[in-house]
Amino acid sequence: MENRDRYEAWIEEYLERVQNPLGRCHDATNEMKTAFPELTVVPGHVETGIWGRRGHVWLTAPDGTIVDPTASQFPAIFEYEPWTPDSLVRLGKCMSCGEEIWGKVPSLHEDHGSKCVCSPECERELTAEFA
């Protein structure tokens, strides 16, 4: 059995076991990496069309092929964008205007906290609402 077939069989078994892969990309990729040490874990973003740009984790095979055990959680994936230092990542959603808050971070291995306002203007509006 070719590696690609082995990967697909593992993903099929995993999806049967967990039922819903939504939000399980870290667990799934770590578990699959344990089963297939030749794979590399890749954090980054995917462009999903309807859902926009989302944080995600997938794997790559030694030949560079993307192996994504939780791809089915998205309606579609149009592009995989690996994270690099100083990439923009989602930091939160503004509690005042509802816009998503994105910022550059030097590492994904640290807790950068979440942001709840996108600008000083939204902070003033939110503060006035609760004052």
77, 124: one domain: no
Q: Are residues 118 and 63 in the same domain?
A: no
Residue type, 12: E
What residues are paired with 104 via a beta bridge? 88
Helix 3-18, helix 25-35: angle, nearest 10: 140
Name the 3-class secondary structure at 127: helix
Regarding whether 19 and 66 lie in a shared domain, the answer is: yes
User: How many domains in the chain?
Assistant: 2
Which residue would you say has higher pLDDT here, 36 or 114? 36
**Segment 68-86, tens digit of pLDDT:** 999 999 999 999 999 887 7
Task: Judge if 119 and 68 occupy the same domain.
Answer: no
What is the domain extent for residue 113? 88-130
The tens digit of pLDDT for each residue in 26-42 reads 999 999 999 999 999 99
Task: Using pLDDT thresholds of 50, 70 and 90, give the confidence band for residue 60.
Answer: very high
State whether 103 and 67 are in the same domain: no
Same domain, 70 and 114: no
Distance CA 115, CA 119 (A): 10
Q: Which helix (H) or strand (E) segment is 67 a member of?
A: strand 66-67
Are 61 and 92 part of one and the same domain?
A: no
Token digits of residue 52: 């926009």
